[in-house]
Structure 1
Amino acid sequence: MALLSVKDLHVSYGAIKAVRGISFDIDEGEIVTLIGANGAGKSTTLNTVAGLIKPDSGSVDFEGETLLGLRAHRIVERGLALCPEGRRVFTQMTVAENLEMGGYTRTDAENRETLEKVYDHFPRLKERRGQVAGTLSGGEQQMLAMGRALMSKPRLLMLDEPSMGLAPILVQEIFAIVKQLNEAGTTILLVEQNANMALSVADRAYVLEIGTIKKTGTGAELLVDDDVRKAYLGG
């Protein structure tokens, strides 16, 4: 049984059909990526799985049980966490306070243990734990957003455009951390405009175009696929 199973998902914004009947599965321990142009439906899919958008129809099951109809914080309690596009840290709060917000569904004792693991993954956050989040660099804010999501100790971490707006050297660092998190046992669903980096770390990938899945395969297969290279890899 797949850890996450999305079947025939349809999502609209008024008259605009953003997602048009997509289906995909994620097995425990995988990195799965959704790639595609702006407006393809990638972020809408993640936000629907996270309970932030109500779909028109379809199913979203986690460990064989539906997520549809659950409030977002209940979905977090079930073991899914979303690191949103644009980071959305609490800019007037410290790094430590932001991380504490990520663990609001868990006990203080659980959070103390998880916090140390987050600091192990992101030592820069530990160095800056008393610093106001709005004064961090873009890369540090992305690390903070990821760390905040990890505070709920998710089995499935959804990352929406983690490399957006970052310098190339920081993109490399963020994706190295994504690999480390996966190797430590976290299953990852990744939405990413940097298709080359996303496919390089992904076990499997889905190519979305105008709300539909046009192609699927392993990350390695799609890296050398002619259509994918022409459309998303600049070659």
Structure 2
Amino acid sequence: MLDVQELNVHYGSIHAIRDISLTVNEGEIVSLIGANGAGKTTTLHTITGIKKATSGRIFLDGKDLMATEPHKIITMGMAHVPEGRHIFSQMTVAENLEMGAFWLKDKSHVNKEMEKVYAQFPRLKERYKQAAGTLSGGEQQMLAIGRAIMSKPKIMLMDEPSMGLSPLLVKEIFEIIKQLNQEGMTILLVEQNAKMALSIAHHAYVLETGKIVLQGKASDMLENDNVRKAYLGA
């Protein structure tokens, strides 16, 4: 579904991403793990067109994303749940969800998708008139995921969904990610909580200083001594 080939990204003279290639097959959860500054967020930003690549190719279902205007990528079936959630804090929960479906012209389709989100996240339905900025951190993360669902994506890119959440809420968010995948959503997951990320993923890549240094089955990564020492606290 998603194919990234020999991607390079620069910030001025800084070579942030170095010849990385990765594949996300339909129906998979693929985790991209690495330390702060490894280039994980830059990778997602480049895939979604926020950051321009220096070289390389990015394809979604065979369509060239690097030849596509960034605002049109969402209409091709890709949604991005950004690091830090980036909800519209002054808008209500319902208005935030509607923003996720801005490109859907049929109001009945928007309402249908919103009901799906409310079924997935009952707490959002309870608070649909509430200003999003007054929600708890966990609820804001649910809203960010719900907003992405509203665009009817085939693949969802998620950046640090557990950031700033309590261990109990982290567990809840990861259960939601697993459920989305079981319902057919393909997911590329960037996450510093490597143990949780690898525990739900099918495949994983390890990124260090802009380079992919290891890849393979996520279950194998959990048993890899180097990964355990560097990222799992073993």
Normalising by structure 1, report the TM-score: 0.98
2:160 paired residue number: 161
Query: Which residue identity is paired with 2:192?
Result: Q
Please tell me the residue identity of whatever aligns with 2:145.
M
Post-superposition shift, 1:72?
2.1
- For 1:192 and 1:30, how far apart are their aligned partners in 2? 16
User: Residue 9 of structure 1 contacts residue 19 of structure 1 at CA under 8 Å; is this kept in 2?
Assistant: yes
105-114 vs 217-226, greater mean Cα deviation: 105-114
Amino acid in the other structure paired with 2:217: T
Residue equivalent to 2:56: 58
For 1:105 and 1:192, the matched residues in 2 are separated by 28
Partner of 1:172: 171
What residue in structure 2 maps to residue 234 of structure 1? 233
Q: Distance in 1 between matches of 2:12 and 2:120?
A: 41
RMSD: 0.6
Match of 1:196 in 2: 195
User: Amino acid of the residue matched to residue 45 of structure 2?
Assistant: N
Correspondence list, 1:1-235, <5 A? 3-107=1-105, 108-235=107-234
What SS does the corresponding residue of 2:66 show, helix, strand or coil? coil
Contact persistence 1:73–1:105 (CA under 8 A): no
Structure 2: distance between partners of 1:110 and 1:212: 41
| TM-score normalized by the length of structure 2 | 0.98
Distance 1:113 1:19 in 2: 40
Percent of aligned pairs with the same amino acid: 59
More moved, 140-149 vs 102-111: 102-111
**Separation in 2, partners of 1:110, 1:184:** 19
Unpaired runs of 5+ residues, structure 1, are none
Counterpart of 1:161 in structure 2: which amino acid? E
- Whether the 8 Å contact between 1:163 and 1:171 is mirrored in structure 2 is yes
Equivalent position SS for 2:10? strand
In 2, Cα distance between the equivalents of 1:130 and 1:217? 44
CA distance in 2, matches of 1:157, 1:69: 20
Give 1:65 deviation, angstroms: 1.3
Superposed CA offset, 1:21-63 (max 9, x none): 0001111000001000011111111111111111000000011
- CA deviation digits over 1:144-196, x for unaligned, max 9? 00100110010000000000000000000000000000111110000000000
Matching residue's letter, 1:78? M
Separation in structure 1 between the aligned mates of residue 135 and residue 69 of structure 2, nearest angstrom: 31
Runs of 4+ in 1 over 3 A off after TM superposition: none
Q: May I ask how many residue pairs the two structures share in their alignment?
A: 233
Q: Hey, what's the Cα distance between the residues in 2 that align with 1:58 and 1:195?
A: 27
SS of residue matched to 2:91: coil
Give 2:204's aligned amino acid.
A
Structure 2 gaps of 5+ residues are none
